[in-house]
Amino acid sequence: MSLPTITGVGRLTADPELRFTPSGKAVASVPLAFNSRRLNKQTNEWEDGDVFFIRGTVWERLAENVAETFAKGHEVIVTGEVRTESWEKDGQKHERPALLIRAIGPSLAFATAVVSKDAASQQGGQGGQQRRSGGQQGQAQRSRPQQPPADDPWAVDNAKGYSDEPPF
């Protein structure tokens, strides 16, 4: 039997935390909150309902991209497999739900996004091997979109705003 897969819209409750395994694989923790918010038609005000908190985990190049792209408070659309994390502390067994994130992206309901290929994609897809420097350099890259490579068939003509030629 396969694990349940969920897709939903949630918010990051903290910045993603990027770490690297001893073998060099990137892994990021993404704390998420999903809530049921609804409009009360009598008062015409929004009311918060139940909230489901879950820790998401992403691996390799996706982990690096998530850590560089998202921050606390961002609304995201996420798909992943629900799992149970188990551990023992002080002789007591503990369990909690966890989400192995397979895909994550920004929700454009209340934000805009500029999508660009990451450096590893532009270098032939050899991702997961480079460690990114975070901080202010990552912020600068996010606010200034990169120009597509000259040989990118999906690039548009900036003078016209579109391309007349099919990319194939």
When pLDDT is averaged across residues 139-163 and rounded to a whole number, the result is: 51
What's the confidence (pLDDT) of residue 117? Answer: 80
What's the confidence (pLDDT) of residue 150? Answer: 58
Confidence of residue 154 (pLDDT cuts 50, 70, 90): low
**Which structural domains are found in the chain, ordered by start?**
5-113 (2.40.50.140)
What's the confidence (pLDDT) of residue 143? Answer: 42
Q: What is the pLDDT of residues 1-43, one digit of tens each?
A: 677 898 999 999 999 999 999 999 999 999 999 988 888 889 9
What's the confidence (pLDDT) of residue 132? Answer: 42
**Structure tokens that stand for 8 in this block:** 């939903």
Rounded CA separation 85/34 (Å):
19
Do 37 and 50 meet the contact criterion of CB atoms below 8 Å apart? no
Q: CA nearest 128: which of 57, 61, 58, 69? A: 61
Q: Against a cut of 0.75, is the pTM above it?
A: no
